[in-house]
Amino acid sequence: MLTRVLFAVALMCGMTAVASAEDVKVLALGITTHEVTQAELETGAALPAPHFNTPAIAYVLATNLKAGDVVEIALANGETSLLKNTETLAEDQARYLLQAGKRGVPAGGWPDGSYQATLKITREGKPLVEESSKPVPFD
């Protein structure tokens, strides 16, 4: 009987942990030409796509993050991460915005390729979310 009770408790605790991980949601993930604000992302308006001669900023707006979660956003050209920003949260965050990129333009413009924002959120060393935005060619 005790074994069944312990099994049931372990099962319920495991289900709770899975449910809290599933609560993390990505509201916005992409790249644009400027640093964005949370209010700007919440409107849902289309943001301008970067070009070879404009700044490029990768952004993520996520919800239901916990203290200790690690959020990493990167601006990538294909599989190559060019610029990234990583934050370990000191406290729970109902909504959290993180950005990485360059406010200026590299000398000679951005190299050819398709760029995207790559996101990784981990909790207690285990990946919760790994996503990439739709690739955008810089023309």
Give tens-digit pLDDT for 83-127: 999 999 999 999 999 999 999 999 999 999 999 999 999 999 999
Question: What is the rounded average pLDDT for all residues in the chain?
Answer: 87
CA distance 15 to 7: 12
Residue 21: per-residue pLDDT: 52
Q: Which domains does the chain have, with CATH numbers?
A: 24-137 (2.60.40.10)
Work out the average pLDDT over 39-66: 95
* DSSP-assigned letter for residue 113: S
Tell me which residue of 3, 9, 32 sits closest to 133, measured CA to CA.
32
4 has a pLDDT exceeding 50? no
**Contact present, 121 and 65 (Cβ < 8 Å):** yes
Quote the pTM value.
0.83
